[in-house]
Chain A
C-alpha cells in the first residue's frame, strides 16, 4: 500500500517538473520578455539593463537551472512588472477564484448527479429526453457564449444583476451559473450512462430476485457501483477549481487567478505564469491522488490489488 502511494507521489512530482519545464520552454520561445515588458519604444540600454537584472543574458540552460533550483527552495520569483513576490500575487487571487468555482462545483454535483440518476431511472421518458437535451446544450455551448447570453438577458435587458466586477455576492451569481451549468451537463450525461450500465448488470436482477424493494436496489446496489466512474469526472472538476475559470473570469471581469494568468501571459510575466502553472499542475495532481484514494474506497477490487502489492 505504502509503495503504491510512494510511486504515485513520485509520478506526481515528475508531472509537475514536466509542466514547469514545458512552461519555461514555451514562454522563452514565444518572445523576448524584456522587449514586451519595457515596450517597443524602450531604448536598447534600458532593455539591456533589464535583461541583466533578470538574468536573461545567461545561457538558456543556466536560466533553466537557476529557475529549477529556486523552485526547489520554494522561491518562485518576482513579478517582472511590479517586483512583488509571484507567490503572493497568486495566493491572494486564489480565494477570489474559489468564491466562483466552489459554488459552481456544488451546482455541478447537486444538479448534474441527481439529473443523471433521474434520467437513467426513467429512460426514454419525456424527463429523460429533456435532461439529455439540456445536457447536450450545456455541453456544447461554449462558456463565453453562455456567459454573454446571461449578461445580455439578466444584466442588460432585465437589469436584475450586475454584468461584471466583484463588489458583492450578487456579482457572483451569473459567473457561478455559467460555470456550473456546463459542468452539470457533463456530469449528468456521465452519471446517466454509468447508472444505465450498472442497471443492466446481472447483480441488479439478483437483488430484485431476493426481494429487495426497487428503491433499495437503486440506493444500496446501483448507486455505489455507478459512483465509481462518476468519481473520475468529479475528481477532474476538483482539479479545475483553481484555473478552470479563465474564460468566465474574463467575461465577467472577475479578478481571480484566471484573470491574473491572462494578464501575465499577455505581459510575458514569466514568474507569475510559471507560478500559476505550477499551482494548476499541483491541484490536478492532487485531485488525481484523491480520485485514486476514492477508487480504493469505492471499489474493493482495486483495494485488494493495491493491498497485495505492498
Chain B
C-alpha cells in the first residue's frame, strides 16, 4: 500500500461501567491495543458482533473519543483534541455517517439547507454558490429536485441516508467513517446505497472505515477487512481473500454462519457454542478460547499476537494454531 492517510497505533479504550445505582465500577476494555492503517482511497472494513468494540474504534479514528492508550495520526499528524478549533478544521476532511439517518438530521430544516450547512460552518467557497453546490451534491446522490425541498421525515430511509452522505461529502473529505450505514434499510434499498457508496468512493478518492456486522455488505465495499472480537483484531486481510479462506476460527465461524441462498453440497457449518462473553469479563489467554472448537491448553494461558502469516496477501491472524510467516519467525528469533 502507498503512504498511509490514517494510522492507528496500539489504540485502547476502557470504559468504567457501573452495575446498578451504587455498584462497583468495573472496567470494560472496549478496544484492546488495535493497530491499523488506511491508505488514501482505500476502504478498511470492520466486522464484528455487538460488543466487539467496532463502533468505539470508529469514533476514536475520528477523534470523537480520545483513546486511553495509543495514537491516531491523520496524514502524519496526531489528531487534535476533540472540540478545539484545530480539530474542527480537520473535521472538514474527516466525516462520519451512522445507522440512523433520521437521528443525524434536523427535523425542522429542509434537507438542502442541511446539506449546505457544512459549507457555512467551514466557510468554504462563495456563499452565493453554496445552495447550488448543495443541490448538485444531492442530485449526485440521486435525489430529485422535488425531494430536495422536503423535510427529513418526508423522505424514505434510503433517501435520508443519501442526504446524510451528501452532507458528509460537501467538504470534500479525504476520510469517511461509516458505522452500519445500511443496516436499517431493506435489502433492495440497501443495494442502492451500497452501490452509491462504492461509486462515490472511487469518484471522490475517499478512504473509508466501514463498520458493519453484515459480512456481505462489508465484502462488497472493502479492500481490506479486519475482524473484531471482544476489542481485539483477530484477523485482517484482503477482503475477497479473507472471506474465501478465513483462517482464524472465529472468522471461519462467522463466514460459515452467514446464511446463503445456494449451499455448496457437503458444506459443513461451523456453529459456535455459547455467546460472546461480557466485555467486562474477558477470558484470559485468547479471549475467544471458551467458544473455540479448536482451543488447546496454550489458548487458555497465552494471548496470541496479531502476526503476518503466509496464506493470503497481507494477512494477519491472532491465533496460536496458525503458523506465522517465515519472516515473522525470523524477526522473533
Task: Show the binding face of A for B, using Cβ within 8 Å.
Answer: 3-4, 7, 304-309
Contact = CB atoms under 8 A, between A and B. Distances in A.
Nearest to A6: B22
A191 B22 CA distance: 30
Contacts of A3: 22
Contacts of A7: 22
B20 interface: yes
Given A305-B20, A306-B20, A309-B23, 10 more contacts: A3-B22, A4-B22, A7-B22, A305-B19, A305-B21, A305-B23, A306-B21, A307-B20, A308-B23, A309-B21
A306 B19 CA distance: 9
Interface residues of B, number: 5
Nearest to B22: A309
Main SS at interface, chain B? loop
Contacts of B20: 304-309
Contacts of B21: 4, 305-306, 309
Interface string B7-39: 000000000000111110000000000000000
Contacts of A305: 19-21, 23
A309 B24 CA distance: 7
A296 to B, nearest CB: 11
Contacts of B23: 305, 308-309
| CB-based closest 6 A-B pairs | A305-B20, A309-B20, A308-B20, A309-B22, A309-B23, A308-B19
Interface of B: 19-23
Contacts, number: 20
Contacts of A306: 20-21
A181 B171 CA distance: 61
Nearest to B19: A308
Contacts of A309: 19-23
B19 to A, nearest CB: 5
16 contacts: A3-B22, A4-B21, A4-B22, A7-B22, A304-B20, A305-B19, A305-B20, A305-B21, A305-B23, A306-B20, A307-B20, A308-B20, A308-B23, A309-B19, A309-B22, A309-B23
Contacts of A307: 20
B229 to A, nearest CB: 27
A308 B19 CA distance: 7
Nearest to A306: B20
A309 B255 CA distance: 40
Nearest to A305: B20
Nearest to A309: B20
A309 B23 CA distance: 4
A6 B317 CA distance: 51
A254 B23 CA distance: 48
Nearest to B23: A309
Nearest to A308: B20
A7 B19 CA distance: 16
Contacts of A308: 19-20, 23
Contacts of A304: 20
B151 to A, nearest CB: 26
Nearest to B24: A309
A7 B23 CA distance: 12
A308 B20 CA distance: 6
B115 to A, nearest CB: 36
A304 to B, nearest CB: 8
Nearest to A7: B22
B141 to A, nearest CB: 35
Contacts of B19: 305, 308-309
A307 B23 CA distance: 9
A233 B318 CA distance: 56
Nearest to A4: B22
B25 to A, nearest CB: 12
A304 B23 CA distance: 11
Contacts of B22: 3-4, 7, 309
A276 B23 CA distance: 37
A201 B95 CA distance: 37
A307 B22 CA distance: 10
B22 to A, nearest CB: 5
A242 B193 CA distance: 63
A3 B19 CA distance: 14
A3 B22 CA distance: 8
A304 B21 CA distance: 11
A309 B21 CA distance: 7
B234 to A, nearest CB: 31
A307 to B, nearest CB: 8
A4 B20 CA distance: 10
A247 to B, nearest CB: 37
B76 to A, nearest CB: 47
A306 B21 CA distance: 7
A291 to B, nearest CB: 15
A61 to B, nearest CB: 34
Nearest to A304: B20
A7 B22 CA distance: 9
A6 to B, nearest CB: 10
A307 B142 CA distance: 54
Contacts of A4: 21-22
A305 B21 CA distance: 7
A307 B19 CA distance: 10
